[in-house]
Amino acid sequence: MTGSASGIGAAVVSALRADGRDVVGVDLRDAEVCADLSTADGRRAAVDGVLGLAGELDGLVVCAGLGPHVPDPRQIIEVNYRGAVEVLDGLFPALRGAAVAVSSSALTMTKWADNPISRGEEAAALAEAGEYAGHLAYSWSKNALTVAVRRRVAEWGAAGVRLNTVAPGAVDTPLLQAGLESRFGDAIRSYQAPIPRRGRPEEIASLIRYLLGPDAGYIHGAQFMIDGGSDALMRPTEF
């Protein structure tokens, strides 16, 4: 479980431990494996650290992430995209059950054809993005993560390992709180969901717990918007 120390990740850890599962958390601090997923070395250390503690894994959740407000937008892509995909790939050989990647409803702000990550051109695109760089990096990173998951379904399915994404809307966590306190606060506050409140970390954890378990045995390559209905409200004809 990456991003285990806070927010959605911490809620997933609690839910799984309540089920009697042994969980290896990966985070910058307060985790069984402390590693920095923003660097290639840190991602390797995370994979090696997990494998050192658990030879085989029933499940994997890649949840660590940075919000659009962080000062260096390159870090957003490193953690949210590469930090998720390289941990998925690194732990795939040890996986026996299912994995879930935490994407975001913000992924729909980008089409894959327009996503500079698809062409390896994100550095140049960020240099031109100006004040919106953080928002764009966030959307590109989550869009690319969902595409990476969908592109792995054949190989993972053949190996008997299910892989899905959840795409939350606004969820009350330290990440969202930091965004509300940033210059993007008004934009976040204007985000309306038909269910007129923010999500709770426990509600996202509940879906992830289900997707990891045997009742979800035929769910593979799927993406679950868990956003209080916002996506359906804003894009009723696109799904």
Active site residues: 138
Rounded to whole angstroms, how far apart are CA atoms 36 and 3? 10
Nearer to ligand NAD, 95 or 100 (CB): 100
Contacts of 124 (CB under 8 A, 6+ apart): 116
Short-list 82, 60, 190, CA closest to 142: 82
Measured CA angle at 144 (ends 158, 207), to 5 deg? 65
Smallest separation (angstroms) from ligand NAD to the CB of 32: 13
8-state DSSP, 118 = G
- Binding ligand NAD by CB under 6 A: which of 14, 21, 28, 192? 28
Burial class (CB in 10 A: 0-12, 13-18, 19+), 127: exposed
Q: Which stretch binds ligand NAD (CB under 6 A): 91-99, 110-118, 149-157, 166-174?
A: 166-174
Contact 163, 98 (CB under 8 A): yes
For ligand NAD, give the closer residue by CB, 31 or 161.
Answer: 31
Instruction: Please report whether residue 176 would count as binding ligand NAD according to CB under 6 A.
Output: yes
Q: What are phi and psi of 172, to 5 degrees?
A: -70, 95
- Residue closer to ligand NAD by CB (options 30, 215) is 30
**Which of 148, 175, 205, 208: binder of ligand NAD (CB under 6 A)?**
175
**Distance (Å, whole) CA 191 – CA 76:** 21
Task: State yes or no: residue 86 binds ligand NAD (CB under 6 A).
Answer: no
Q: Report if residue 15 touches ligand NAD, rule: CB under 6 A.
A: no
Task: Select 63 or 125, whichever has its Cβ closest to ligand NAD.
Answer: 63
Footprint on this chain of ligand NAD (rule: CB under 6 A): 3, 5-9, 27-28, 36-38, 63-66, 79-80, 102, 104, 168, 170-171, 173-176
